[in-house]
């Protein structure tokens, strides 16, 4: 079975401590610990986690190192992020959200998981990110909530 490379933004880490998102967030991290997924995170995610409470940071530090890959910020990521901003997929005040998708696209992940339904997991945003990716030579990005990714092993 293929081990999928998934990008999780910071909302998934915080989701472990939110009543609405706790169950699926914890299941996703359990799947990562079990080796079902390789977690890809970016410098953007690390920066946001540094500002988060210690208990949120511990979600990352408790994962096996062999199941986590960090993608460093680069000119390529900045360029793709700026293309998203120029296309007005999100405004400049949501630059970090565009940077998450740019990082995931440059890292060539299988899909992105997020609880951000306003700027990431939204049909208009997804189609915008996909259009820019195709116009700039990147593959179409697949974006889901953790709920759409976990809990289907019984099939």
Q: Which pLDDT value is given to residue 2? A: 80
Give the whole-angstrom CA distance, residue 57 versus residue 41.
13
* pLDDT of res. 62: 95
Q: Which domains does the chain have, with CATH numbers?
A: 4-148 (3.40.50.620)
What pLDDT is attached to residue 155?
Answer: 44
Q: What is the pLDDT of residue 152?
A: 62
pTM of the model: 0.93
Nearest to 16 by CA among 54, 50, 51: 54
| Mean pLDDT score of the chain | 95
Residue 91 burial (CB count, 10 A): 11
Dist CA 62 CA 135 (whole Å): 38
Model confidence pLDDT, tens digit, residues 49-108: 999 999 999 999 999 999 999 999 999 999 999 999 999 999 999 999 999 999 999 999
Helix or strand run (H / E) with residue 7: strand 4-8
């Amino acid at each position: 079975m293929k081990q999928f490379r998934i990008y999780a933004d910071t909302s998934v880490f915080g989701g472990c401590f939110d009543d609405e998102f706790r169950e699926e967030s914890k299941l996703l991290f359990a799947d990562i610990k079990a080796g079902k997924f390789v977690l890809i995170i970016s410098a953007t995610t690390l920066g946001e986690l540094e500002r988060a409470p210690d208990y949120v940071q511990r979600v990352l530090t408790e994962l096996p190192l062999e199941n986590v890959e960090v993608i460093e910020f680069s000119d390529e990521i900045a360029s793709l992020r700026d293309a998203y901003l120029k296309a007005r997929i999100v405004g400049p005040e949501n630059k970090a959200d565009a940077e998450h998708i740019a990082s995931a696209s440059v890292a060539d992940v299988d899909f992105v998981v997020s609880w951000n339904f306003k700027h990431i997991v939204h049909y208009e945003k997804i189609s915008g990110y996909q259009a820019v990716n195709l116009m700039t030579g990147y593959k179409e990005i697949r974006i889901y909530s953790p709920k759409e990714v976990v809990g289907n092993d019984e099939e």
